[in-house]
Structure 1
Amino acid sequence: MEQLLAQITWWHWLVLALILFGIEMMSGTFDLLMASIAAAATAAWAAFAPESATAWQVQCLVFAVAAVGLIVISRYVFPSMRRAEPEHPTLNKRMVQLVGQQGEVTRDLSSGHGQVKIGDTVWGAEAAEGQAAIVVGDKVVVESTRSNMAIVRKA
């Protein structure tokens, strides 16, 4: 076994770095990314260090220290790397995106239900509580939504 380990060269570490990187791309844990970076650093060490400092034991020690150090740093110094970013709060929520937008009434809201044009789309609408009659041509602002109806008030 020791004979096999004595033959480790820089390109073995580079292959290990690429394998770990490939597995990391499939898993997304960031721990294997740090181990991959450590293997690449060990490859650089094995390639450029003096011959007396490239024994297999030293190479394994360099890899172990670099891997543990990078994993600790990634977990405690850069914890935000591991957190998944929440989706945009209104992404694919068309009605929620309407809140705060201005439009124009296209069908009276005096009977409780009507229509407003917001941008280039006509939406079903209801007057917000306490609003006086809203008639065709009035400018409105979307206060909230309910189901597929915009709740509006006069602008």
Structure 2
Amino acid sequence: MWDYLQHLSYWNWLAIGTLLLILEVFGAGGYLLWIGIAAASVGVLTYLFPALPWALQFILFGAFSVLTAVYWWRRQRTAAKPSDQPGLNRRGSELVGRQFVLHEAINAGHGKIKAGDTLWLVSGPDLPAGSKVKVIGQDGVLLKVEASG
């Protein structure tokens, strides 16, 4: 084992880097990408400087792994910006605060309103069909309403 470690070549590092990159393709979520790049970098350095001792190769591999991971983590944090469409996947949130006419009466706390071409389930005080209501909140697909004057 010691003999193998003392004679690591750039091919070994490139093979390790390639293996890690292949494993990344199978869904590691970006973690193995940076370690694979670090292994390939050590392979390039070992090609350029074939007399690098194996201990230094492993130290470089560890340092490159940490540096590339920290670089990507910092880049991801600075690249994150608030969405210009914050309600994109919350369909009913754009209805909060708007007024509608009841499509079906609210009986036992549940009824329906029509918003555009969609019927929405609503909860609120019992009211007859045709009454004006204001959407005051949302609970999943159920809109909370109150009587509007």
What is the Cα deviation at residue 45 of structure 1? Answer: 1.0
2:130 counterpart of 1:136? yes
2:144 counterpart of 1:151? yes
**Structure-2 residue corresponding to 1:41:** 41
Alignment of 1:1-155 (within 5 A): 1=1, 3-5=3-5, 7-24=7-24, 25-28=26-29, 30=31, 32-47=32-47, 49-51=48-50, 53-54=51-52, 56-70=54-68, 73=70, 99-100=96-97, 103-108=100-105, 114-127=111-124, 136=130, 138=132, 140-145=133-138, 149-153=142-146, 154=148
CA–CA distance in 2 between the matches of 1:34 and 1:20? 9
Unaligned segments of structure 2, at least 5 residues: 78-85
Q: TM-score, normalised by structure 1?
A: 0.55
What is the Cα deviation at residue 57 of structure 1? Answer: 4.8
Deviating beyond 6 angstroms after TM superposition, the runs of 4 or more aligned structure 1 residues are 93-97
CA–CA distance in 2 between the matches of 1:127 and 1:109? 7
2:46 counterpart letter in structure 1? A
Kept in 2, the 8 Å contact 1:128–1:143? The answer is: no
Q: TM-score, normalised by structure 2?
A: 0.56
CA–CA distance in 1 between the matches of 2:65 and 2:118? 56
Percent identical: 25
What is the Cα deviation at residue 120 of structure 1? Answer: 1.5
